[in-house]
Amino acid sequence: MRAALLTEYRKLVTTRLWWVLLVAMALVMVFMGASLAFTFSVPADQGGMGGGEGLPALTPTDVALSVYSVAAGFGYVFPVVVGALAVTGELRHMTITPTLLAEPRRGVVLGAKLLAALPVGLLFGLVGTAATVAGGATVLTLTGGETALGEPEVLRGLALSVLALGLWAVLGVGFGTVLTNQVAAVVVVLAYNQLVEPLLRLFLGSLEWGQPVTRFLPGAAAEALVGSSIYTAVGAGDLLEWWQGGLVLAAYALVLAAIGRATTFRRDIT
Amino acid sequence: MSFADTAPAPARDDGVIAVHGLTKTFGPVRAVDDLTFEVRPGRVTGFLGPNGAGKTTTLRALLGLVRPTAGTATIGGRRYTEIPRPQRVVGAALEAASFHPGRTARDHLRVYAPQVGVDDARCDEVLGLVGLADVAGRRVGGYSLGMRQRLGLATTLLGDPRVLVLDEPANGLDPEGIRWLRDLLRFLAGEGRTVLVSSHVLSEVQQTVDDVVIIARGRLVHASSLAGLAALERTGTRLRSPDPDGLDRVTGRWGAAVRRLAPGAVEVDGVEPAEAGRAAFDAGLELHELASLSVGLEEIFLRLTAPPADEPAGVRS
C-alpha cells in the first residue's frame, strides 16, 4: 500500500493540474471571502445586505465565521475536481492500463487513490481557507466589522474547514469512479456547486418536510462540520452537529467509492 | 547493457506463458474462442493475426485487465493478478497511447517505479537503454509514435522482468528503429527471457521471431517454429503451350512434379518460372503462359488468416 500511495502522490505532482487548480482556488476564494464580507457588513441601503429587517440578529463572530465558512461550503469545487480527475484522468488517457499492470489488485488502487486524496485535499483546504479569511477579514476590517480571528469558535471553525476540504477531495475520488467521463464529471461538479445545491437548499428549505433533508446535502454537511453557514445566517435552514456533518461527508465519499468499486473498477479494461 | 549481471536463471516452468481454452465474449462477439498455446523462455515468439483477430484481448486477459469468459492464461503457472509485484516478473506494453501527455518520460517511469520497487537511477538507466535519455525531460504529449513505443518498452524493462509481453511494438518505428528493436528483443531472448511480440504483419517480425502463434477470428490457426511455418512455403510454375507434345518433352525432365491440367497445360511443383522458361526457350517451345505458383511466407500467413470462404485447401496445417 505504501508503494501504491507513493505512486498516486507522484501521479498528482508530476502534472501541472494540481498547482493550477490550487492557485485558481486561492484567487477565487479571496474574491468570494471579500464579496461575502461586503454583503454581510455593508447595510442594505448602501448596496450590501447587512442590518436588513427580518434577518436574525448576528453577532460579529457569527458574521465572520459564516463568511469564512464559504471555503468549505462553496470552494469545494477545487478539491472535488482534483479528486475526481485522479480517476477520470486515468481513463481518459488510458493510463489505467499501466496503473493496473503495476498493481493488479484494483481495490488497492482505489484505496490508494482515496487515501492519497486526503492530504491533497487538506492542502487545498489550508490554502482555500486562508484565502477566504484573507479576503473576508480584509473587507470586514475596511468596513468597520470584526474579523473575530481571536475567537476560539472561529479558529476551531477554520481548522474544521481545512478538514472539510480534505474530505471533499476524498469524495471527489469516489465521484470520479462513478462518473468517469472527465468533462461530464467537471461539468456536473460545477453545476451542482453553482445551481443544484443552492436551489435545493432554498426550495427544500422552505418546505416543512424538506428542511431536515437539506441538512444532509453534502455542502450543508461540510458547513455543519465548520459550524456555520451563510444559509443559516440568512435564516434558510439549520445544520447538523459538526461531527455529524463530518460523518455525512465521509459517508458520501465511501458510498460513491463503493459504487465505483462495484462498477468502474470491476470492468474489463479494453 | 544493464541486464548482463542480473540475467534471470529461470527454473524450468518459470517463464512459460500458458494460454488454455481461453474464451472471451463481448456481448454477442466472440473475441477469443477456445484459444490454447504456449510460449517458451529463451525464444522470441510472434503472436500474429490480422487486426481484430483477438490478439490484444488475449494479451489483456493474460495481464488481468480483461476477465476471461472461460479458460486460463498464466505466466509461470500463476495468473498475473496473483503475482506479487508483477512487473518484476512480467514487463508488458500495450498500445502506445497509455501516457499522460502532460507528464515527462522520466516522470512517467517514476510514477510506476515505487510499485516495481526500483529507484530513479533505474528509470534513467532504462531511458538510456531505449534511446530516450536526451528527451527524458520532455512532456510525452510532444512525442512521436516511435518515441512513445520506446517509452512503453522502457516501462516494461523497469523491473528487469524475465517475461516480456509487447503489443505491436514495431508500430510507428522507422526502419532503423525496427532494426534496433529486433536486436534488443533477440538480445533479451538470448538471456533466457520469454519474449512475446504481437503484430498484424508477418514481415515486420519475420527476422525477429523463433516461433509463431497465428490466430484469426479468435481461434488458433497455426503454432510452430518459424521454420515450421516456412516448411509450408512452396514454389511452382504453370505453363501453357499450343504444342502439347513439345510441352511434355520439356517438362518430362521434372517427372512426378508435373501435373497435367489439360493437353498443353501443366503445373510443375518446386520449379521457378525462370527455370521452366529457360528450358522451354532452349527447346524452342512456344509458350502462351508462364506463371508463378510460388507461395511465400506472407502468402501463407494471409491464407492462414483469411476468412473461411476463400480459404484454399492444403495450406491449413
Q: List all residues 6 or more positions away from A213 whose beta carbon is below 8 Å from its beta carbon.
A: A204
Q: Are B267 and B261 in contact (CB under 8 A)?
A: yes
- Work out how many CB contacts closer than 8 A connect A with B: 83
How far apart, in whole angstroms, are the C-alpha atoms of residue A19 and residue A129?
Answer: 16
* Total domain count, chain B: 2
Q: List all residues 6 or more positions away from B142 whose beta carbon is below 8 Å from its beta carbon.
A: none
pLDDT tens track for B81-113: 999 999 999 999 997 668 999 999 999 999 999
If one compares B314 and B305, the residue with the highest pLDDT of the two is B305
Pair B241, B185 in one domain: no
Please report the pLDDT score of residue A48 as a whole number: 61
Please report the pLDDT score of residue B76 as a whole number: 94
pLDDT tens track for A61-77: 888 999 999 999 999 99
Taking 70 as the threshold, does the pLDDT of residue B312 lie above it?
A: no
Residue B258 Cα to chain centre, angstroms: 35
Pair B118, B181 in one domain: yes
Task: Name the grid cell of A128.
Answer: 482555500
Q: Is residue B248 part of a domain?
A: yes
Pair B61, B150 in one domain: yes
Question: Which residues of chain B are within 8 Å of residue A4 when distances are taken between CB atoms?
Answer: 114-115
Query: What single DSSP character describes residue B78?
Result: B
Average pLDDT over residues B64-85: 95
Average pLDDT over residues B239-259: 89
Instruction: Identify any residues that bridge with B19 across adjacent strands, giving them in sequence order.
Output: B37, B73
Cross-chain Cβ contact B111/A10 below 8 Å: yes
Q: Which of A13, A101, A108, A264 to probe the B interface (max B CBs under 10 A)?
A: A101
Q: Which residue of B has its CA nearest to A96?
A: B98
Question: Which residues of chain B are within 8 Å of residue A89 when distances are taken between CB atoms?
Answer: 100
The ipTM of this complex is 0.86
Taking 80 as the threshold, does the pLDDT of residue B125 lie above it?
A: yes
Taking 90 as the threshold, does the pLDDT of residue B183 lie above it?
A: yes
How far apart, in whole angstroms, are the C-alpha atoms of residue B97 and residue A95?
Answer: 8
pLDDT tens track for A87-129: 999 999 999 999 999 999 999 999 999 999 999 999 999 999 9
Cross-chain Cβ contact B81/A105 below 8 Å: yes
Q: Is residue B302 part of a domain?
A: no
Our CA-based measurement puts residue B109 at a distance from the nearest CA of chain A, in whole angstroms, of 10
Please report the pLDDT score of residue B13 as a whole number: 63
Pair B266, B132 in one domain: no
Please report the pLDDT score of residue B309 as a whole number: 64
Pair B153, B287 in one domain: no
Our CA-based measurement puts residue A164 at a distance from the nearest CA of chain B, in whole angstroms, of 28
Question: CB of B137 within 8 Å of any CB in chain A?
Answer: no
SS3 B103: coil
pLDDT tens track for B207-223: 899 999 999 999 999 99
Cross-chain Cβ contact A14/B104 below 8 Å: yes
| Sequential DSSP letters for chain A | -HHHHHHHHHHHHTSSHHHHHHHHHHHHHHHHHHHHHHHHHSBGGGTS-BT-TTSPP--HHHHHHHHHTHHHHTTTHHHHHHHHHHHHHHHHTTTHHHHHHH---HHHHHHHHHHHHHHHHHHHHHHHHHHHHHHHHHHHHHTT----TT-HHHHHHHHHHHHHHHHHHHHHHHHHHHS--HHHHHHHHHHIIIIIHHHHHHHHHTSTTHHHHHTTSHHHHHHHHHT--HHHHTTS-----HHHHHHHHHHHHHHHHHHHHHTTTTS---
Question: CB of B65 within 8 Å of any CB in chain A?
Answer: yes
Question: CB of A21 within 8 Å of any CB in chain B?
Answer: no
Taking 70 as the threshold, does the pLDDT of residue B8 lie above it?
A: no
pLDDT tens track for B286-302: 999 999 888 888 888 98
Q: CATH code at B274?
A: 3.30.70
Please report the pLDDT score of residue B311 as a whole number: 45
Pair B88, B10 in one domain: yes
Our CA-based measurement puts residue A31 at a distance from the nearest CA of chain B, in whole angstroms, of 30
Q: CATH code at B115?
A: 3.40.50.300
Please report the pLDDT score of residue B313 as a whole number: 46
Question: Which residues of chain A are within 8 Å of residue B57 when distances are taken between CB atoms?
Answer: 270
Please report the pLDDT score of residue B137 as a whole number: 94
**Facing residue for B97 by CB, picked from A94, A104, A270:** A94
Pair B252, B175 in one domain: no
Please report the pLDDT score of residue B269 as a whole number: 86
Please report the pLDDT score of residue B254 as a whole number: 87
Please report the pLDDT score of residue A166 as a whole number: 97
Residue that has been written with the C-alpha cell 510454375 in this structure: B237
Please report the pLDDT score of residue A50 as a whole number: 60
Instruction: Identify any residues that bridge with B17 across adjacent strands, giving them in sequence order.
Output: B39, B75
**Facing residue for A269 by CB, picked from B66, B104, B108:** B66
Pair B101, B186 in one domain: yes
Q: Is residue B304 part of a domain?
A: no
Question: CB of A24 within 8 Å of any CB in chain B?
Answer: no
Question: Which residues of chain A are within 8 Å of residue B89 when distances are taken between CB atoms?
Answer: none
Pair B133, B112 in one domain: yes
Q: What is the mean pLDDT of chain A?
A: 90
Q: Is residue B300 part of a domain?
A: no
Q: Are B163 and B193 in contact (CB under 8 A)?
A: yes
Question: CB of B100 within 8 Å of any CB in chain A?
Answer: yes
Taking 50 as the threshold, does the pLDDT of residue B10 lie above it?
A: no
Please report the pLDDT score of residue B214 as a whole number: 96
Our CA-based measurement puts residue A179 at a distance from the nearest CA of chain B, in whole angstroms, of 20
Cross-chain Cβ contact A4/B115 below 8 Å: yes
Domain that includes residue B113, residue range: 4-226
How far apart, in whole angstroms, are the C-alpha atoms of residue A133 and residue A30?
Answer: 7
Q: Which residue of B has its CA nearest to A11?
A: B111
If one compares B202 and A54, the residue with the highest pLDDT of the two is B202
**Facing residue for B100 by CB, picked from A2, A89, A103:** A89
Pair B86, B12 in one domain: yes
Question: CB of B60 within 8 Å of any CB in chain A?
Answer: yes
Q: List all residues 6 or more positions away from B270 whose beta carbon is below 8 Å from its beta carbon.
A: B234, B235, B236, B254, B257
Please report the pLDDT score of residue B308 as a whole number: 74
Please report the pLDDT score of residue B97 as a whole number: 66
Cross-chain Cβ contact A17/B67 below 8 Å: no
How far apart, in whole angstroms, are the C-alpha atoms of residue B23 and residue B33?
Answer: 5
Taking 70 as the threshold, does the pLDDT of residue A236 lie above it?
A: no
Average pLDDT over residues B15-40: 95
SS3 B223: strand
Average pLDDT over residues B167-193: 93
pLDDT band per the 50, 70, 90 thresholds, residue A82: very high
Please report the pLDDT score of residue A234 as a whole number: 66
How far apart, in whole angstroms, are the C-alpha atoms of residue A268 and residue B57?
Answer: 10
Q: Is residue B301 part of a domain?
A: no
Written as one letter, the residue type at B32 is V
Cross-chain Cβ contact B92/A16 below 8 Å: no
Q: Is residue B108 part of a domain?
A: yes
Taking 90 as the threshold, does the pLDDT of residue A159 lie above it?
A: yes
* CA nearest neighbour of A79 among A128, A30, A131: A128
pLDDT band per the 50, 70, 90 thresholds, residue A45: low
Percent of chain B topping pLDDT 90: 68
pLDDT band per the 50, 70, 90 thresholds, residue A57: low
Our CA-based measurement puts residue B149 at a distance from the nearest CA of chain A, in whole angstroms, of 14
Please report the pLDDT score of residue B3 as a whole number: 46
Cross-chain Cβ contact B95/A94 below 8 Å: yes
Residue where a domain stops, chosen among B226, B252, B271: B226
Our CA-based measurement puts residue B134 at a distance from the nearest CA of chain A, in whole angstroms, of 19
Model confidence, pTM: 0.86
Pair B260, B221 in one domain: no
Taking 60 as the threshold, does the pLDDT of residue A53 lie above it?
A: no
Please report the pLDDT score of residue A174 as a whole number: 97
Pair B133, B264 in one domain: no
Please report the pLDDT score of residue A232 as a whole number: 72
SS3 B268: strand
Taking 50 as the threshold, does the pLDDT of residue B5 lie above it?
A: no
CA distances A88 to A95, A173, A182, Å, are 10, 9, 5
